[in-house]
Amino acid sequence: MVIEGKIYENLKEMVSPDHSILVVWDVQNALVNGIFNRDQFVSSLKKLIAEARHYHIPILYTKITPLPFEYESGFRLYSSMKRYGVSDPKKISFMKPGSPESEIYADLAPDASDMVVNKNTADIFIGTNVELMLRNAHIDTVIFTGIATEFGIESSARSAGNRGFYPVVVEDCVSSSNREMHEAALKVLKTQAIVAHSEEIINTWK
């Protein structure tokens, strides 16, 4: 039962195709090739994407697209220097637009009808028009998949909930290069969002 048209009480109501969108977060070559469970992740996500298309659920892909060096924040440069072990921030070349590493993984590639949003933070709403797009399309539920669980997925799911959307994280369709961090993030997300297996979601669509 839906109370006053807004409060969804179970997973079937939450992920109904008429008010949901599937987000495929940063499934770019460099990230997919570095996760701990690539084959399982790709297989599960590929099936979920196919089912979403079958039920005419809109799909939004994101791509890490760094800002030019002179427009990037000091903190983000500092974080990248630590992550990649470099002392000169100008040597950071992660996800350079047009590079093979920045392209979306072929087995998970978008169709012509899917949306692709370039962004440069770990929050789907910062620096993008995504919130406006979702409001205009009368979307209530954002279903999150992609990489990495402890970065963009957790950050964006929390942000979605703070904005009044239902954040649903698909536990077998998110991943990370660090299994321990992935599992810890899922544990936290279970207290902050709705976490479900892809088969549970597909079964509600049927």
Share of the chain above pLDDT 90, in %: 80
Domain assignment present for 15: yes
Domain assignment present for 90: no
Domain assignment present for 132: yes
CATH number at residue 63: 3.40.50.850
* Average pLDDT of every residue of the chain: 93
The CA distance from 166 to 176, in Å, is 23
pLDDT computed for residue 98 by the predictor: 85
pLDDT tens digits for 4-18? 557 999 999 999 999
Number of domains, the chain: 1
Domain assignment present for 84: no
Q: At residue 188, does pLDDT exceed 60? A: yes
Domain assignment present for 26: yes
Share of the chain above pLDDT 70, in %: 96
Domain assignment present for 86: no
Q: At residue 123, does pLDDT exceed 50? A: yes
pLDDT computed for residue 1 by the predictor: 45
List the domain range (segments joined by +) for residue 140: 2-70+99-205
Domain assignment present for 177: yes
Confidence of residue 97 (pLDDT cuts 50, 70, 90): confident
